[in-house]
Structure 1
Amino acid sequence: MKRILIALLFTVAWAASFTAPVMAMTVVPEGNRNAVQPKVPGASVRRTRAGKTTFDDKYEKIRDLLATDKSLIGKIKSTAASYGIDPIHIVGAIVGEHTYNVDAYDRLQSYYVKAAAYAGNAFRFAYDGESIEEFLKRPQLATCEAKRDSYSLWTCRENVWEKSFRGRRVEGKAFPDNRFSAVFFQPFYAGQTFGLGQVNPLTALMLSDMVARTSGYPKLDENKAADVYDAIMDPDKSLAYMAANIRRSIDDYKSIADVDISRNPGITSTLYNTGGSAQRAAALKARGGLPEENYYGWLVNDKIAELKSLL
């Protein structure tokens, strides 16, 4: 009798595990939450005016490049499949970058030519004579060494920068009130472009493990800056880093905020533009509601039918 009772209780508990309410993940629908486009930053406006062009002209230029380069579209589709994302997310990020941040080259081959100009040069990541290798040996960053994967490691280092170095004087040396990536990882003149996907060198270092695991490209080393630039300037390689960036944003929103953004390219494009997907997902979880697109993502959603036709 006792055995029967135990078996019955086990069966009831097992059945209950299937009927207990489960919090459903919120799926962000297609389209924009904002009726009109959010304001475009002044820096983007000034850059476009300086180039004697318009946002409409820049959009049409990158759209036409994508429309006429079937090889590039094929690579976008293949890369997206490797990372388990819809290729429209990569298209959206490319369109946003070349509409608001840089101007597109006339053909994909030009990106390869520009990438080749970086190969073999004695670049290094440094600030005011202090190399990144020397900086990372500072005791404040010792806590990050326990991090095993590149995303956690560089996120930790970036957080330490914000807390202990940004805008401060440390051991007699003054550090700028600026982002870690801007201080140590952008040694060229203002407006320097970083390839088809406009990938930041620090972002590439963060995503190095995922790209190595998924695409088979060698892991990046911060002490070999030329290799990092090659990875983000070469169109084939940069597509992998773009896809990894988007995959990371989608995963962050699912795991942190219980929100699925994979059906809204405007949101993934917004995050591609702003960065900080983990922090933004945490903020969304705290306040609730749906994520909203910025000016960059708004354009992608507004043009979504035309962009999907490219695929």
Structure 2
Amino acid sequence: MQRFLLALVTTLGLVFAAGNAMAVTKVPAGNRNAEQPAIPGASVRRTKAGKTSFDLKYEKVRDLLATDKKLVSKIKETASRYNIDPIHMIGAIVGEHTYNVDAYDRLQSYYVKAASYAGNVFDFSYKGEKISDFVNRPEFSVCSSKTDSYALWTCRDEVWQKVFQGESVDGRTYPDNRFSAVFFQPFYAGQTFGLGQINPLTALMMSDTVHEKSGYPELDENDAADVYRAIMQPDVSLAFMAAIIRKAIDDYREYADMDISGNPGITATLFNIGDSQRRARALARKNASGGRVWPEENYYGWLINDKLPELEALL
């Protein structure tokens, strides 16, 4: 009887596991939109100001990757460490340097730019209030139980949105803007750096994962210069890129029962817009009532899928 029960439990466990595996649906390759979604005005204006075009910027970063075999080798190595296809990292780099910034004459010149931050003294703060003091406010006590960096900074970001963003608290009015733009960009709002144009707050979120997988030191919000050095140095920046993409793939599998690992346009989109966990949960809610809503690429991810044969040739 005991053996029978043990066999029954084992069988039910296997059936349950198989059911869960079957529940994960592979997102089809390619774009859901026949035409490229609208490109934001800020990106258009920035490109015009540089007296260039999106086509030229795309061709420039593509050609740089085509001739920089050392960098492509590092991309492959990093992707393998995080168990993702390197095309996802290629897509993120190409998307960022097509729509957000222009590629440098040599992508490796980011090393030089990173070194320039070594002597700079600046911090993450808003009107003299340092981030370390800000997150010690009682409103953030709900986050005190969070042990890993992603859960901790995601919680703090949510508190910002609910309590402080666009509100007056204790006699101080806070801007109606993102947490990352208000506290984590000491030079100007919207600032991102490095191969993947990573936001400092995103880097802090992924700090534990990068430390565990790649062995780089954990980041400290009280050392802004070190955070910028990390996202500016190509080798370290690649690790953060891979961690962000890995998290997006895992989030869609866990919360939306969807496998997006075969669609670089979707992972590029999520790399661009962020909040993969929240978006995966929102998609799951849409699909809960029946039917099937697929995740859609934005203008950025659409380009990656559209140019996929060219980009895969880089690898």
TM-score, normalised by the number of residues in structure 1: 0.95
Residue identity matched to 2:50: G
By how many angstroms is 1:108 displaced? 2.4
User: How far apart are the structure 2 equivalents of 1:190 and 1:138?
Assistant: 24
Paired amino acid for 1:299: L
1:301 Cα offset (Å)? 0.2
Per-residue CA shift, 1:140-169, capped at 9, x if unaligned? 012211100000000000000000000000
Aligned counterpart, 1:283? 282
**Runs of 5+ unmatched residues, structure 2:** 288-292
User: Deviations along 1:90-145, whole A, 9 cap, x unmatched?
Assistant: 00000000000000001023111111111131010000111111111111012211
Q: Which moved more, 1:296-305 or 1:139-148?
A: 139-148
Judge conservation of contact 2:150–2:208 (CA < 8 Å) in 1: yes
Question: Is the counterpart of residue 22 in structure 1 residue 19 in structure 2?
Answer: yes
Distance change >3 Å, CA 87–CA 10, structure 1 → 2:
closer
Q: Could you tell me how far 1:7 is from its partner in structure 2?
A: 5.5
Q: Distance in 1 between matches of 2:35 and 2:74?
A: 33
Deviation for aligned residue 1:233: 0.6
Once residues 186 and 130 of structure 2 are traced to their aligned partners in structure 1, the CA distance between those partners, rounded to angstroms, is 11
Partner residue in 2 for 1:180: 179
> Which residue does the alignment assign to 2:302?
298
5+ residue gaps, structure 1: none
Amino acid at match of 1:105: Y
1:27 and 1:260 in contact (8 A); partners too: yes
Please tell me whether the aligned partners of residues 30 and 265 of structure 2 are also in contact (alpha carbons under 8 angstroms): yes
CA contact (8 A) 1:246 1:268 kept: yes
Q: Deviations over 1:29-73 (max 9, x none)?
A: 211111111111111111111111000000001001100000000
Equivalent residue runs for 1:246-257 within 5 Å = 246-257=245-256
Secondary structure of residue in 2 paired with 1:146: coil
TM-score by length of 2: 0.94
- Residue 94 of structure 1 corresponds to 93
| Secondary structure of the corresponding residue to residue 271 of structure 2 | helix
SS in 1 for 2:227: helix
Contact 2:57 2:98 in 1 (8 A): yes
Using the alignment, how far apart are the partners of 1:241 and 1:72 within structure 2? 15
Could you say what secondary structure the match of 1:62 adopts? helix
Supply the AA of the counterpart residue of 2:60.
K
CA distance 1:252–1:15, shift in 2 (3 Å): closer
CA–CA separation in structure 2 for the residues paired with 1:13 and 1:144: 38
CA distance in structure 2 between the partners assigned to 1:252 and 1:9 by the alignment: 35
Give the structure 1 partner of residue 224 of structure 2.
225
Query: How far apart are residue 11 of structure 1 and its match?
Result: 4.8
1:150 corresponding residue in structure 2: 149
Structure 1 residues 157 and 10, CA gap change in structure 2 (3 angstroms): closer
Question: Secondary structure of 1:148's partner?
Answer: coil
C-alpha separation in 2, matches of 1:227 and 1:139: 27
Q: Is the 8 A contact 2:192 2:200 kept in 1?
A: no
